[in-house]
Amino acid sequence: MINDSTRILHWQQKVGFVAAFCFAAALLSLADSLIGGISGNRGMIELLPGSSYAISGPMPPKTDTLEEMIIEGVPADGTVRLVPKALFSGFWLGGSMWRGAIEVSPNAQEAEYVVLVKDQYGEKQNPALVFIIRIWGSQDVLNAHSSSFLTRRTGLSPFAFVAFFAFCGILTGMGNFLLGRRWTRLLAEHACSEIYKLTRSGEGTELTCDLPPGAAVVVGRQCPVFRANGEPLQSANVVSLQKKDVVLLIEGDNAVRVGDVVCLQAPAIEARRADTESN
């Protein structure tokens, strides 16, 4: 049992470390994406030559048709255009809305434009109809100016890292759980159990552990306590039996801690001693 338990615990610790690392990396990647979104482009629409971007907004005041909309700020050569395409009714508050696209020609140069959509009567400008458009020369240049650290370094979206590390964390977390169950079953097969609670008093230290299924435990039995790796510590005396727990007492000073193992039944103790002698 010692060799088996040591091997299982060794792998459980390694898998648990990997799972913790993956979840931490997923959280850091998520933080990178959120920080980039909060302190990043400030509503700027970043595009490449030859691309297009779907856009929508409320109709300007006193404007009923697409033809009545005034669009200012686009370059005269037409390399960047805002093209309204259809009207529709707003989902939440109703009212007339328009949808369209920002279209960038393949020969567009790097530049920044502030595009306004307004009416022809000089009404106050709606801030929702002010679009800041930034054209970058290539994907590499766009990535180099990204607000995300991961995108600047790798060219990939931080959400790709979130998904990858979260998936790896779930897989390794499941592996850690299964190894833990295997360890618990191995203990139960030898009528042993992990200590999960310590209470120190003037009489000594009370140890509480689960009662393994089928273990024949009686009050007054002396039970050896081991480290999880098989290192022997000292004996504890069974002082009470509860529905699912066993309470033991060690008198005087001791080095027992939560996670150590108590073997509760004589056959298991003898088998453990035989394993120790053979190793």
Reading the block at residue 177, the tokens are: 């759980």
Whether residue 276 is predicted with pLDDT greater than 60 in this model: the reply is: no
pLDDT at 91 (0 to 100): 72
Tokens 């929508």, located at residue: 56
Asked whether 71 and 115 are in contact (CB, 8 A), the reply is yes
pLDDT at 164 (0 to 100): 97
Mean pLDDT of the chain: 87
β 111-118/204-210 pair status? unpaired
pLDDT at 27 (0 to 100): 96
Q: Where are the alpha helices (DSSP H) in 40-157?
A: 139-144, 149-154
Q: Range with the lowest mean pLDDT among 56-65, 72-81, 99-108, 270-279? A: 270-279
> Percentage of the chain surpassing pLDDT 90?
52
Q: Over the stretch 4-24, which tens digit does the pLDDT of each residue have?
A: 667 888 888 899 999 999 999
Whether residue 198 is predicted with pLDDT greater than 80 in this model: the reply is: yes
pLDDT at 41 (0 to 100): 52
Tokens 């499941």, located at residue: 174
pLDDT at 270 (0 to 100): 46
Q: Over the stretch 111-158, which tens digit does the pLDDT of each residue have?
A: 999 999 999 988 899 999 999 999 999 999 999 988 889 999 999 999
Predicted TM-score of the model (pTM) = 0.67
Provide the CB-side half-sphere exposure for 131 (13 A, CA).
28
Nearest residue to 244 via CA among 209, 197, 201, 220: 209
Q: Over the stretch 223-275, which tens digit does the pLDDT of each residue have?
A: 999 888 888 888 999 999 988 899 999 988 888 889 889 988 754 444 444 45
Q: With the C-alpha atoms ordered 80, 81, 82, 87, is the resulting torsion angle positive or negative?
A: negative
- DSSP E strand boundaries for 13-136: 45-47, 52-58, 70-72, 80-89, 96-104, 111-118, 130-135
Nearest residue to 260 via CA among 230, 240, 239: 230
Q: Over the stretch 48-65, which tens digit does the pLDDT of each residue have?
A: 999 999 999 999 988 989
pLDDT at 3 (0 to 100): 56
Q: Over the stretch 84-94, which tens digit does the pLDDT of each residue have?
A: 999 998 776 66
